Amino acid sequence: MLSPSWRFLNIPNLLTLTRVAVAPFIALNIAMGHFFNALLLLALGGFTDFLDGILARLLKQENRLGVYLDPAADKLLILACYLGLATAGFLPIWLAVLIIARDILIVSGVVFLKILRVPFKMLPSKISKITTFFQIITALSVLAMAVLHFTSASILLLLFVATALLTLISALDYIAIGYRAYKARC
């Protein structure tokens, strides 16, 4: 039997930790111009994001660590990709800033509600899951274009606009969720 300190190390959480581990290597590979390596690492990270939640439910291994670790790993993966790609000039800086600002807003809101001792469950919304999916697809597409030395301005514009809109909608959704939790406490 596992000791209490090891009970959180299950397959879903190990997959989530894989995202944490590959994130800095994605940014490093982008900075070094190794776009194929960055693409493979991001594909691995995206796949673990898809797989960890499914396995947690199927194996009945959902736990408190996973609830916090999964969105943190997503944010770190997205941060590494978008900072790396924006710095390398492959996507607009405004998009990276928007995505990072949304994540700062979410984390700040959670901290604010915790400080006020407002009870709430930290669960990703459906729009947030769709947003993360689009953010990963956009970064994968940009990296694939860099690898293939192919650029389509219309595809990139569509991806950037869709990702930006979903990011804004998701931010507003989290603001509404936080506001409802705060008002329910009052």
Name the CA radius of gyration of the chain, rounded.
Answer: 17
pLDDT at 3: 46
Burial class (CB in 10 A: 0-12, 13-18, 19+), 85: buried
pLDDT at 2: 46
Give the mean pLDDT of the chain. Answer: 90
Q: Mean per-residue pLDDT for 125-139?
A: 94
pTM to 2 decimals? 0.88
pLDDT at 7: 62
Residue 152 has phi, psi (to 5 degrees) of: -120, 110
pLDDT tens figures, 24-66? 999 999 999 999 999 999 999 999 988 888 887 888 877 777 7
Assign 178 to helix, strand or coil. Answer: helix
Domain 4-185 part of CATH 1.20.120.1760: yes
Domain positions in the chain are: 4-185
